[in-house]
Structure 1
Amino acid sequence: MTGTPGTSPEESRPEEKLAMTSYTPPVGQEQPRRSRPLWLRSLITTACIVAALFVIELIDAATRYDLDQNGIEPRQVDGLDGILWAPMLHADWEHLLANLMPGAVLCFLVLMTRRFLVVTGIIWVISGVGVWLFAAPYSVTVGASGIIFGWLTFLIVRGLFNRDLWQILGGVVLFLIYGSILWGVLPTNPIVSWQAHLFGAIAGVLAAWFLASRDRKQKQPTATPGVAS
């Protein structure tokens, strides 16, 4: 053992004490990764959805819009599967671009609520079924506008169901910006599917109510059975 009398080996080698503060993880051990912020993940997801719609429209145009025949055919059993495909198809580029302008913004905002899959699923099904039941016979309905109307009404009313002041204020702002498009729930244009708009809007309200009710039930404390003495 070396060192100055009256001192420990550790005290005689300060450089070793400093070296002990560093750490090299074993080979193969992964370092924890910092997750991306919610806004960035929402932005990336929105961009991917927009890109996918452009690719689908490119394929549709290349096939002389044959893909549009996979839309919703009212009250036809063969047209039921159109409920799955219709929101991803558009009649032409003008139709797609008209939907993307508000759609991308609303998609991003719904993603920020962390409820995107549930909300979109509810709207997708209800708006599609509404079109299948009530649209004009011998028609084929395509387009994402039913989803967009549902996203809008969900964002407008969710604060009322959640009793959240900031969400209510956000809903008011959205209504002032996009509220005029809600006139689309009325049958004013024969080539526009007001049924998709109407049932999409209804579905957005139902989604907001359902999620708020579920959240309140989950927050309610459960009584623990007492132990007899």
Structure 2
Amino acid sequence: MKKQAYPIMILLLVMWLVRIVDVVIPADLNQFGLQPRSIQGILGIGTMPFLHAGFGHLISNTVPLLILLGLTVASRGDHAWPVVAGIIVGSGVLLWMFGRNANHIGASGLVFGLIAFLITVGVREKRFGSIAVALLVGFLFGTTLFFGIIPSFGSTVSWDGHLFGAISGLIVGIATSSSSP
């Protein structure tokens, strides 16, 4: 299990290093966020999860990512990282195509995608381990999932990023799991 934790730690470390560099240099790296329907915004599909508005924003994504990535790696093994990539790309493309006009930053799309993914897999596979993970995720993050996708107009929170992350997690969950008869 130690070996499987390294990629999680590296992903989170990169997020923290990007935030620290942005503070120390100040380079305004957040300009490289996802901007829907713009050529420059396409780059944001890959950079958005690594950019955060501040340390509070980063912490609010780090804690759930640590839990959700840990559960994903523990339950999916070597198949966890294609799942993560699928959620990042899927949610980014959906947000780029249909998101509201704003500069979207942060890893919460991945957080919401992993929540939806783990619940979807538990429902579809109907195996004890998958169901247990789905119930745990639903207990820990169900309220967050529900309230996080409700439109909050005038807010700087990317509710549409949350929504497209959840949709992407649902799609990846359906595509990568088999339903039991």
TM superposition score normalised by structure 2: 0.89
Give the alignment of 1:35-184 within 5 angstroms.
39-112=1-74, 113-114=76-77, 115-137=79-101, 139-182=102-145, 183-184=147-148
- What are the ranges of 5 or more consecutive residues in structure 2 without an aligned counterpart? none
Sequence identity (%): 31
More helix by share: 2
Assess if the C-alpha contact under 8 Å between 2:12 and 2:62 holds in 1: yes
How far is 1:45 from its partner?
Answer: 2.5
How far is 1:194 from its partner?
Answer: 0.9
Assess if the C-alpha contact under 8 Å between 2:116 and 2:170 holds in 1: yes
Structure with more relative contact order (C-alpha pairs < 8 Å, separation 6 or more): 2
Give distance in 2, aligned partners of 1:187 and 1:210. 27
Report the number of matched residues.
Answer: 176
Q: Could you tell me which residue of structure 2 aligns to residue 199 of structure 1?
A: 164
Assess if the C-alpha contact under 8 Å between 1:73 and 1:79 holds in 2: yes
Give distance in 2, aligned partners of 1:187 and 1:63. 34
- What are the ranges of 5 or more consecutive residues in structure 1 without an aligned counterpart? 1-38, 217-229
Give distance in 2, aligned partners of 1:166 and 1:52. 30
Give distance in 2, aligned partners of 1:150 and 1:51. 20
Assess if the C-alpha contact under 8 Å between 1:154 and 1:208 holds in 2: yes
Q: 1:57 to 1:173 in 2, by over 3 A?
A: same
SS state at 2:89 partner: helix
Question: Aligned letter for 2:25?
Answer: T
Question: Aligned letter for 1:179?
Answer: G
Assess if the C-alpha contact under 8 Å between 1:150 and 1:203 holds in 2: yes
SS state at 1:186 partner: coil
SS state at 1:72 partner: coil
Runs of 4+ in 1 over 4 A off after TM superposition: none
Assess if the C-alpha contact under 8 Å between 2:71 and 2:133 holds in 1: no
Give distance in 2, aligned partners of 1:174 and 1:155. 7
Assess if the C-alpha contact under 8 Å between 2:123 and 2:134 holds in 1: no
Give distance in 1, aligned partners of 2:129 and 2:16. 34
Give distance in 2, aligned partners of 1:171 and 1:65. 40
How far is 1:65 from its partner?
Answer: 4.8
Aligned-residue RMSD, C-alpha: 1.8
TM superposition score normalised by structure 1: 0.72
